[in-house]
Amino acid sequence: MPLTIKKYIGRGPSTSKEIQAATGLSQSSVARRLREMRDSVVQIQEGRLIRYAATCNAFGADDKIPLGIIDHTGKAKVVAFIRPLIHGGFFLEPLHSISNLLLGERGNGLYDGLPYFLYDLRPQGYLGRQVAREISKWHDDFPSDPRQWTNKHIGKYLISNGDDLPGNFIFGEQAFIRIRRRATPVTINNYPKLAENVMKGELPGSSAGGEQPKFTAFKSDHPSPAASGNRSHVIVKFSPKGNNDVAQRWRDILVTEYHASRIIRESIYLSAETNLFEMDGRLFLETQRFDRFGEFGRASMVSLQSIDNEFVGLGHSWPKIMNELFTQNLVPEQDVLTTERLWYFGQLINNTDMHPGNLSLTMERNSFRLLPCYDMCSMGFAPKSGGEAQPFLFDASDIPDANFSQEELERLKRLAHTFWNNVTKDERISEEFKRFLDQGNPLEPIIQQSK
């Protein structure tokens, strides 16, 4: 018995000739019936060929889910529809002319799973686990660990909670309706209470990745919500309360991040602006969000990890991934060189956590551009997963020189040397950290070698 067109293209994208062979229908009959199926069929361009695929409802929504972006003023615009396909995968159907980057590696909008730029919006890290645990309390089909979530879980989450996520993408009709929901401004005096709430499992602000305890907030320099003044969206990391070894170690890490961001911003590249506050037995590192403008404006932000997964597939090394993207004309050469500088500087300050999820890019027309640096700190000193703070150890002499001119290498080494000097002088570091640094600047031996 011949297959129906819907059943056949439900197995995967097919050309008209393939459909004719499978169904026994003539070319004109296939063309007529495809027209009759209207919006339940999508056309996928592959070179000169057109393939047809059947759509299906997904995530508790229909088969045509709006994908939007929010501009710097806060205005939302639908740019495409995500079309779930019966055979699995998704098709991005442009509403009008869009960046080729949205169409993925194949260049035609066909994805095996959710589009790569939506994966960064799923719950991740410390806050992500809290989000997943909270959802799993009320919905048995959601795993409590977000790392076990499938496309089905991520899609449902984004449709229900997609109005205040990293970057500027919004997904699903509900997110468009809620997009102008006003943020509640807070002052730095609220930070201790917000930290306590996070430790109790509450979820203030939007989700943000990363393993350190943190919260997001809309900060105001005036306590009255009705008052005017400086306001901005921030991410705030905080140390454990008290002065035990682990709490002091995390305070030390936050101090290194503060000084690293200043050095980078002044001498290497754009870096997120940071401030440190000591309150209620904790140290707070406040970082200005660069994916937010004013109260409602947003900017695109996609992690190098997601971009790598779609276009390269290396899984490690910022410079190697960026070089591969450059060969595909997806990033400018200057951004590759900047990334190499950041990578080398990170090694010189004992940053052992430079995974692809800790570098982000923005979309500019048909090219990715490097965003300001963030999360640059001396993570090699961080407590181990079991909670133990190991003795301070760091030997910079084993770090291989990067592929720069001798002049540039010396400049980066001097910047790292200045970083360690600045950290040493900071009165907020622990006595143990100070004793370690008083033994000598970790960069001094390799600077002396190069003289």
SS3 77: strand
Q: Mean of the pLDDT values across residues 206-211?
A: 57
H-helix or E-strand containing 136? helix 125-138
Domain ranges of the chain: 5-54, 57-181, 182-451
How many helical (H) and strand (E) elements, i.e. helices and strands, does the chain have?
A: 15, 17
Strand segments (E) across 59-213: 65-70, 76-84, 90-94, 110-111, 169-171, 185-186
221: confidence class by pLDDT, cuts 50, 70, 90: confident
What whole-number distance in Å separates Cα of residue 56 and Cα of residue 450? 64
Sequence-distant (6+) residues with CB within 8 A of 302 are: 116, 117, 120, 167, 360, 361, 362, 363, 368
Residue 151 near residue 58 (C-beta atoms within 8 A) = no
Q: Which amino acid is at 35?
A: R
Q: Which residues of 334-348 are buried (b: 16+ CB within 10 A; e: fewer)?
A: ebbbbbbbbbbbbbb
Model-level pTM greater than 0.85? yes
| Eight-class DSSP state of 122 | S
Most confident of 76-85, 180-189, 223-232: 76-85
Statement: residue 207 has pLDDT above 70: no
Confidence bin at 284 (pLDDT 50/70/90)? very high
Cα-based angle 78, 81, 87 (whole degrees, multiple of 5): 165
Average of per-residue pLDDT across 323-334: 98
Q: What are the beta bridge partners of residue 115?
A: none
pLDDT at 13 over 90: yes
Phi then psi dihedrals of residue 43, to 5 deg: -105, 125
Residue (of 35, 44, 152, 158) closest to 91 by Cα position? 44
Q: Which of 163, 164, 252, 353 is catalytic?
A: 353
Q: What separation, in Å, do the N-terminal and C-terminal C-alpha atoms of the chain show?
A: 83
User: To the nearest whole number, what is the mean pLDDT of the chain?
Assistant: 92
Residue type, 149: W
Using alpha carbons, select from 169, 197, 393, 377 the residue that is nearest to residue 271: 377
140 is an active site residue: no
Class of the 5-54 domain? Answer: mainly alpha
- The pLDDT tens digits of the residues spanning 363-393 come to 999 999 999 999 999 999 999 877 789 999 9
- The answer, yes or no, to whether residue 291 has pLDDT greater than 60, is yes
Tokens of 429: 């570091």
Confidence of residue 26 (pLDDT cuts 50, 70, 90): very high
Nearest to 350 by CA among 393, 413, 315: 393
Dist. CA 21–CA 426, nearest whole Å: 75
Name the DSSP letter for residue 447. Answer: H
Q: Is residue 180 very low, low, confident or very high in pLDDT (cuts 50, 70, 90)? A: low
79/220 Cα distance (integer angstroms): 32
pLDDT higher than 70, residue 256:
yes
Across 149-163, b (16+ Cβ under 10 Å) vs e yields bebebbbbbbbebbb
Q: 80-138, pLDDT tens digit by residue?
A: 999 999 999 999 999 988 999 999 999 999 999 999 999 989 888 888 888 888 899 88
